[in-house]
Structure 1
Amino acid sequence: MIDLAFWGRCSTEDRQEPEASRAWQLRRAKALVEPQGGRIVAEYFDIDESRSIPPQRRPEASRLLASLGDAGRGFDAVVVGEPQRAFYGNQFGLTIPLFEHYKVPLWVPEVGGPIDPANEAHELIMSMFGGISKGERNRIKMRVRTAMSAQAQIEGRFLGGRPPYGYRLADLGPHPNPAKAADGKRLHGLVIDPEPAEVVRRIFREYIAGYGIGAIAEGLTKEGISSPSAYDPARNRHRNGIAWSKFAIRAILLNPRYTGYQVWNKQRTDEVLLDVQDVALGHTAKMRWNHKDTWIWSERPAHEPIIPMDTFQRAQGLMAGRARAAAPHKPHRARHDYVLRGCMYCGVCHRRMEGHWTNKAPYYRCRFPQEYAIANKLDHPRNVCLREDAVLPHLDRWLAEVFAPTRIEHTIEALAAAAGEGRRERGRDDEARRQVAECDRKLQRYKDALDAGADPLVVTEWIKQTQAERHAALAKLDQIGGQTTNTREQIAHMIRRLGDMVAVLTDAEPEKKSDLYRGLGLRAEFDPETKKVRAEVTLDPAPSRTSHWDSVGVRGGT
């Protein structure tokens, strides 16, 4: 009897239910191994992971590859349900050497059993499937982009995303595709939201009258008018919404959709190498702006305009005229090291403080315009400054105490207790996931009922109710965050390894010191009133579960 691990994947482009996708891949794997005396004893199945991501960067696939070197892994071979889902492009050639090194056979249905590394035909077949997988993904991208371009230009269809400030989404009826309509999908479009729409008109009026972008932002903030992220926080959870920014004003002035036309393809997603020194790590997605000549405009107005076209064009002309000419290139300033970069926060507004080099020394500062402070009812100094060398000696001394050999067990116990809290959170996470999976199964049954001739009106009501339950479960998942925690053994190993590094903190180079602070999950918050810094160390990924904290008095000014 041969014990095997099943390896599968369900990508974001896959329209199948994850459970259904896993089931048919697993069934295909069993059909290969069971007649030959094999049985599947472990599963590694990635969900919502694109095939273009190398196996080393997929959660379950990377866990499988890491287990190959473990003598107690519990399986003797690995089987994939479909090679196109496991390998993309040249990923097979970069991954199979690991299986060879640890002498773990890789079974594939297309070769009828385990791959023979010495068999050129096997290698050719697997390379071909990698090419097929890449070509399939490229064809999908091309078809989708072409269809979206036509829908935007000819139909003026809203293609998703956040509505521009001044508009809101409205239901325009059933989806024109009968299958999607039967699934409960609806068309949406932009309609004017009266209150913010008037703010948009004011911004264009003031800009054309000669006001600068900064003056417009300060005026709106001073009058207590909600910024876009404050007006609709549910759709702007990535922003704090404390005040109007110059960037928000500029984005509104440059947005052509206020003229009533649908505009698409303003941005594109480029895939760039994650590390040019290690191409095996694959690519990462980068959003970049397209040139205005490549934007797709609808042939006719698609929604009610907030401003007329001539007003928009006049604003664009003024903006182009006010743009500064490119300045001659100046030599780059010397690079300064900020040991606490990304770790130091302001105790008044809780924003991250920026590095600032003054008098040949590194400082951290938080600049907060007075209008923003008044609008947000904050008694915030215009500048909060803290010198780096006023913090580091106290911080290093505290870390040395926390990770001292005599306190290692105490630190481990504190983190293990935090991990227990994380496991309770994960229990709620698992329940929410089960609810989502159950809703997906119900939706599939309802679609089957429609295909079988059930009453569409009745089934549509069922679908709406189930989709509402699914959205509620997804919202709960989003709230919980699905964070993972470390076991006590992992925590102990991590702390002992970091403890050796903390012992040499005083003499460490700034860059290595900064990396260690980030590895410890350090967060330091400076209170300018009490002149104290409160420091926290968090080894668990969830930000709410910290292991230790302390506060020290420092010199500093505001």
Structure 2
Amino acid sequence: MNSKNQTGPASTNVHVNGLRFAFYGRTSTTRHQDRVSSQGWQRDMADELVAGHGQVATAYFDAGTSRRIPWRQRPQAAQLMTTASSPESVIDAIVIGEYERAFTGTQFATLYTWCTRHGLQLWLPETGGPVDLANRDHRALLSLLATQSQREVLRARHRVLATMRNQTIQQGRYLGGRPPYGYRLVDAGPHPNPVDARWGRRLQRLAPDPRTAPHVAWMFRQRLAGHSVASIARHLNERRVPCPSSADPDRNRHRTRRTWTLRTVAVIPANPRYTGRQTWNRRATDNSGPASTPALSAKVAHPALVTEQDFVAAQQIRATRPATDGRTRRFALAGLIHCGVCDRRLDSHWNHGRPTYRCRHGHTSTQRAGQPRPKTLYIREDHLVDEISIRLGDEGNDCHTTPELDPPRHRRVAAALRDSRKIIVYDHAGWRLQEIDSS
């Protein structure tokens, strides 16, 4: 084979005595692995195996392809199967450079069945020749190889995830991906691994983007003032503020680059990176172990665009809505009262000209009223504020109830709760204050 051909199958021009083999090999990445070296040693293993039995007539090598991908979805493996199964095929057998490079899970059994159906032999270095599943020793060996291959995948995955989680929590390291809107990437010095540092690799960190950071701070101020996500998006579009895909088109080629949307605005106040702490794996879909769960750095890793106190407060905000008479109905304790029965946040509810809160435990008008459910919780804001203000005052908060302070008392109570990171847990037996779970 011409060793310079690294892009696909290559054929020999010499006369083949014995079996005509198709070689297959694979490497996971092209960035961290030398394809020439990887293909070279796998090909050497195959040539040594088939020596005296035939020669490799054609070769296929997948680079940058995970072993977890089925053969039919690997470019070179799929081409090999197509060529070998065609009526004009001159291939008698397939030889693999190394089992763990080619297979995981049930992939070998699938390919072996396919080879048997097309009259092809399947050779492995581990079996010293063609695989014969009628041979008890071969079956035991292949079962062991399949287990080892799967174990290697799981161990490598666990090590990588655990390392990334630790680097986020303990070091606050930036681990890649698009920087959030409002930040840009700057140099953070040489890589801590001496070998990587000698190769010139350097770390990066987030720094405020002077073009977009002010818009993030403005969005948080608007949210804390009670403005809705739709209102914030509308004002950004009216002011022609570039949306994330417009501000950073190179990293957002999959976006429309047009205008701010509800989704685009909503994710910004919910991103803890704006507090200066690094995050990783926030949208984890597999929480099968500690290494795969979301992580937050233990210390500040980059300049913050919002204080942690304001960030927590922004998560509790629900926008005020205008009434039919044009006046705005304000609910000072919105988001701060949780149901002690079902753990939902109580809904803000205007009743008889005053703010109240209720929890119907998930019941809506789309459900039959006769369905059994706990009794609806209901409480007036003024009654609750009277009781809580005394409790907070007893705990040392500046929230004493004097007649001249009655008008802003509701807002003072809400501010005191947020400052002390507490919520109200309410059920039919009464209410209690509870610390916000920071985990």
What TM-score comes out, normalization by structure 2 length? 0.67
Cα distance, 1:50 vs. partner? 0.9
Q: Which of 1 and 2 has greater Rg? A: 2
The within-5 A match list for 1:60-99 is 60-99=76-115
Please name the residue that 1:58 is paired with: 74
Change over 3 Å in CA distance of 1:158–1:76 after alignment to 2: same
Cα distance, 1:297 vs. partner? 1.8
Of 248, 265, 269, 1:232 maps to: 248
Please name the residue that 1:148 is paired with: 164
Secondary structure at 1:181's aligned position in 2? helix
CA contact (8 A) 2:284 2:293 kept: no
> Distance in 1 between the 2:132 and 2:277 partners?
58
Cα distance, 1:328 vs. partner? 3.8
Change over 3 Å in CA distance of 1:45–1:256 after alignment to 2: same
- Specify the code of the residue in structure 2 equivalent to 1:303: H
Secondary structure at 2:211's aligned position in 1? helix
Q: Does 1:109 align with 2:125?
A: yes
What are the ranges of 5 or more consecutive residues in structure 1 without an aligned counterpart? 271-287, 332-558
Q: Does 1:314 align with 2:313?
A: yes
Change over 3 Å in CA distance of 1:126–1:15 after alignment to 2: farther
1:151-203 deviation digits (Å, cap 9, x = unpaired) = 11111111111111111101111101011112221010011112211000110
Question: Percent of aligned positions with the same letter in both sequences?
Answer: 39
Change over 3 Å in CA distance of 1:234–1:208 after alignment to 2: same
> Distance in 1 between the 2:365 and 2:139 partners?
52
Cα distance, 1:5 vs. partner? 0.3
> Distance in 2 between the 1:48 and 1:138 partners?
19
- Specify the code of the residue in structure 2 equivalent to 1:167: Y
> Distance in 2 between the 1:131 and 1:65 partners?
25
Secondary structure at 1:304's aligned position in 2? coil
- Specify the code of the residue in structure 2 equivalent to 1:321: G
CA contact (8 A) 1:93 1:127 kept: no
The within-5 A match list for 1:397-546 is none
Query: Which has the larger helix fraction?
Result: 1
Please name the residue that 1:443 is paired with: none
> Distance in 1 between the 2:98 and 2:29 partners?
16
Cα distance, 1:13 vs. partner? 8.9
CA RMSD of aligned residues (A): 2.5
1:316-375 deviation digits (Å, cap 9, x = unpaired) = 1115839878564859xxxxxxxxxxxxxxxxxxxxxxxxxxxxxxxxxxxxxxxxxxxx
> Distance in 2 between the 1:66 and 1:21 partners?
24
What TM-score comes out, normalization by structure 1 length? 0.53
Cα distance, 1:46 vs. partner? 1.2
Of 133, 148, 155, 1:139 maps to: 155
1:91-125 deviation digits (Å, cap 9, x = unpaired) = 21222111111111111111111112321211221
> Distance in 2 between the 1:112 and 1:122 partners?
10
CA contact (8 A) 1:261 1:301 kept: yes
Please name the residue that 1:534 is paired with: none
- Specify the code of the residue in structure 2 equivalent to 1:15: H
Of 166, 175, 180, 1:164 maps to: 180
- Specify the code of the residue in structure 2 equivalent to 1:311: D
Secondary structure at 2:178's aligned position in 1? coil
1:258-297 deviation digits (Å, cap 9, x = unpaired) = 0111122212255xxxxxxxxxxxxxxxxx9x99x95322
CA contact (8 A) 2:170 2:297 kept: yes
Please name the residue that 1:519 is paired with: none
> Distance in 1 between the 2:151 and 2:365 partners?
43
Change over 3 Å in CA distance of 1:93–1:14 after alignment to 2: farther
> Distance in 2 between the 1:295 and 1:75 partners?
49
Please name the residue that 1:357 is paired with: none
> Distance in 1 between the 2:246 and 2:85 partners?
51
- Specify the code of the residue in structure 1 equivalent to 2:115: F
Please name the residue that 2:146 is paired with: 130
Q: Does 1:212 align with 2:228?
A: yes
Cα distance, 1:14 vs. partner? 8.3
Please name the residue that 1:222 is paired with: 238
1:59-104 deviation digits (Å, cap 9, x = unpaired) = 2212222333323112211100001111101221222111111111
Of 40, 46, 60, 1:23 maps to: 40
Deviates more, 1:308-317 or 1:53-62: 53-62
1:380-429 deviation digits (Å, cap 9, x = unpaired) = xxxxxxxxxxxxxxxxxxxxxxxxxxxxxxxxxxxxxxxxxxxxxxxxxx
CA contact (8 A) 2:223 2:314 kept: yes
Q: Which runs of 4+ in 1 moved over 4 A?
A: 322-327
What are the ranges of 5 or more consecutive residues in structure 2 without an aligned counterpart? 1-16, 319-333, 337-344, 348-358, 368-439
CA contact (8 A) 2:84 2:90 kept: no
Q: Does 1:253 align with 2:252?
A: no
> Distance in 1 between the 2:183 and 2:72 partners?
43
> Distance in 2 between the 1:104 and 1:4 partners?
10
Secondary structure at 1:268's aligned position in 2? coil
Q: Which has the higher contact order (CA 8 A, sep 6+)?
A: 1
Q: Does 1:3 align with 2:20?
A: yes
> Distance in 2 between the 1:22 and 1:329 partners?
64
Please name the residue that 1:304 is paired with: 303
Cα distance, 1:17 vs. partner? 1.4
Cα distance, 1:211 vs. partner? 1.3
> Distance in 2 between the 1:109 and 1:143 partners?
28
Change over 3 Å in CA distance of 1:269–1:317 after alignment to 2: closer
CA contact (8 A) 1:5 1:43 kept: yes
1:207-257 deviation digits (Å, cap 9, x = unpaired) = 111211011101111111101110110111110110011111110010011
> Distance in 2 between the 1:141 and 1:250 partners?
32
> Distance in 2 between the 1:43 and 1:231 partners?
46
CA contact (8 A) 1:9 1:46 kept: yes
The within-5 A match list for 1:319-358 is 319=318, 321=335, 326=362, 328=364, 330=366
> Distance in 1 between the 2:61 and 2:146 partners?
19
Change over 3 Å in CA distance of 1:73–1:328 after alignment to 2: farther
